[in-house]
Amino acid sequence: MDSLSINSLLEDLKNPNASVREKATKKLWRIWFQQKGIHGLEKIDQSQKLLDAGKTTESESLLTQLIQEQPDFAEAWNRRAFLYYSVGKYKESLADCQMVIQINPVHFGALHGMGLCYAAIGQYLDAIKAFKRALTIQPYSLVNQKLILECTLRLS
Please state the domain extents for the chain. Answer: 106-156
Beta-carbon contacts of residue 128 (< 8 Å; ≥ 6 apart): 115, 148, 151, 152
Residues of the chain with pLDDT under 70: 1-2
pLDDT at residue 66, rounded to an integer = 97
pLDDT at residue 25, rounded to an integer = 97
**Global pTM?**
0.93
pLDDT at residue 2, rounded to an integer = 63
**Helical H runs in the chain?**
3-12, 18-33, 37-52, 56-69, 74-86, 90-103, 108-120, 124-137, 142-155
Provide the angle, in degrees to the nearest 10, between the axes of the packed helices 37-52 and 56-69. Answer: 160
Q: Give the pLDDT confidence of 41-85 residue by residue, as tens digits.
A: 999 999 999 999 999 999 999 999 999 999 999 999 999 999 999
pLDDT at residue 3, rounded to an integer = 73
The length of the chain, given as a count of residues: 156
pLDDT at residue 69, rounded to an integer = 95
